[in-house]
Amino acid sequence: MIDEIPLCRPSIGEDEIQAIADVFRSGWLAHGEYNHKFEALFAKTIGVPHAIAMNSCTSALEVALKVAGIKGEVIVPSMTWVATANVVKTAGGTPVFCEVDPATRNVTAATIAACLTPRTEAVIVVHFGGQPCAMDDIVMLCNSKNLFLVEDSAETLGATWQGRQAGSFAVGCFSFFPTKNITTGEGGMLTCTDEAFQRKARMMISHGVSSTTFARERKERPWIRAAEMAGHNFRMPNPLAALGLSQLKKLADLNARRNKIADRYRASLVSLPLKLPEIAAGATHVYQMFTIEVDEAVRNPALHALRADNIGASVHFDPPVHLQPAYTADGWGEGDLPETEGLARRLITLPMYPDMSEGDVERVGTSLARALSTR
């Protein structure tokens, strides 16, 4: 059996192993000193004043909506992981699914505007697979309609729109799941600019208590713990924050390697009957995924052929969220979002991770060429 080329693989080196080992030796395993270090570097990287480490991006998204008190309609894409819509429901609101631009798979001001109703309270945009949405028009639309805006940047850490980091235009939510640009195993980050918002978000992820254990230990009366609201425990543990900090220091290099692999893919696939990913003018891409589009009739056979060659190709996202049982139960159905549904039938996600070799890319290209030529 030839070696597997997985869909993704985290880049964990000796630095990360050492960072975690040091925290284990310190004995401080709950949220702690490394949360502050990770948050400080993250905020600097994104170019915002506040970053709050959490146990997942899903938690960050839910906290964003809850802090803003969103209970009405929230416009979200269906071309995303189900978490983007789930959090609307778990926060007490109603998701309204909008279309994406098939070229970038991102929502636009126009696709959002088409879904506005008098009940719309918020918008969650998703920066799909490593490429930011066209944020200036979206920010303008949301400001003009007084809508709360969240950027689901789970798949896009380090990419820019008009020179500004994804996640810095509104409240940003990031994921550190192992398929993402950096990983902590499970983990997430919320970024924001507003001081009051960050204070409430910190309370909400920490039982509704306004100071963390770490800070309390250094005060005069460390036994005082007054909850000001009914909160969650969504905190990131110290060892994972140390892992995250170590990974974040390598972000620029990891993303540069992803870009190099994307260039190799483009060179290797250019003559095949498929559509390569498009980068919008004004955007940079960090290729959390490398997604191609093929004819609908050949998509599933091509996936089977790639997998038979031990290549972990997949699809993001099929079915799109509005066609999943949790949402068809609300009345959503086939035909509601033709662009999204078409993409879901044509997309293939190819393996992409910083340690992918030139030979791996070549093997994927050869397998795909065979799969598409035998049709």
Ligand X SMILES: Cc1ncc(COP(=O)(O)O)c(C=O)c1O
Task: Give 82's contacts (C-beta < 8 A, 6+ positions apart).
Answer: 321, 324, 326
**Within the chain, where are the H helices?**
14-26, 33-46, 57-68, 83-90, 109-113, 135-144, 195-204, 213-216, 238-248, 251-269, 296-308, 325-328, 338-346, 358-373
Q: Which is nearer to ligand X, 72 or 178 (CB)?
A: 178
Q: Quick check: helix, strand or coil at residue 80?
A: coil
Least Å distance, CB 75 to ligand X, is 15
Least Å distance, CB 154 to ligand X, is 3
Residue 327 · residue 321 · CB < 8 Å: yes
Q: Which stretch binds ligand X (CB under 6 A): 35-43, 149-157, 199-207, 356-364?
A: 149-157
Q: Does 348 bind ligand X (CB under 6 A)?
A: no
Least Å distance, CB 83 to ligand X, is 4
Measure the CA–CA gap between 144 and 40, rounded to whole angstroms: 32
Crossing angle for the helix pair 296-308 and 358-373, to the nearest 10 degrees: 130
Measure the CA–CA gap between 259 and 252, rounded to whole angstroms: 11
Return the residue of 78, 80, 106, 198 that touches ligand X, per CB under 6 A.
Answer: 80
Rounded (5°) CA angle 171-57-263: 90
Q: Which is nearer to ligand X, 87 or 305 (CB)?
A: 87
Q: Which is nearer to ligand X, 105 or 299 (CB)?
A: 105
Q: Does 100 bind ligand X (CB under 6 A)?
A: no
Q: Does 155 bind ligand X (CB under 6 A)?
A: yes
Least Å distance, CB 186 to ligand X, is 6
Return the residue of 135, 150, 154, 203 that touches ligand X, per CB under 6 A.
Answer: 154
If binding means CB under 6 A, how many residues of this protein chain bind ligand X? 14
Return the residue of 177, 290, 332, 353 that touches ligand X, per CB under 6 A.
Answer: 177
Considering only CA atoms, which of 161, 162, 192 is closest in space to residue 174? Answer: 192
Task: Please give the distance of CA 112 from its chain centroid, rounded to a whole number.
Answer: 19
User: Looking at 44, 71, 145, 180, which residue is catalytic?
Assistant: 180
Considering only CA atoms, which of 75, 64, 148, 97 is closest in space to residue 326? Answer: 97
Query: Is 275 considered catalytic here?
Result: no
Return the residue of 58, 168, 206, 314 that touches ligand X, per CB under 6 A.
Answer: 58
Q: Which is nearer to ligand X, 313 or 361 (CB)?
A: 313
Q: Does 189 bind ligand X (CB under 6 A)?
A: no
Q: Which is nearer to ligand X, 64 or 292 (CB)?
A: 64
Q: Does 81 bind ligand X (CB under 6 A)?
A: yes
Tell me which residues are annotated as active site.
180
List contacts with ligand X (CB under 6 A).
56-58, 80-81, 83-84, 126, 152, 154-155, 175, 177, 188
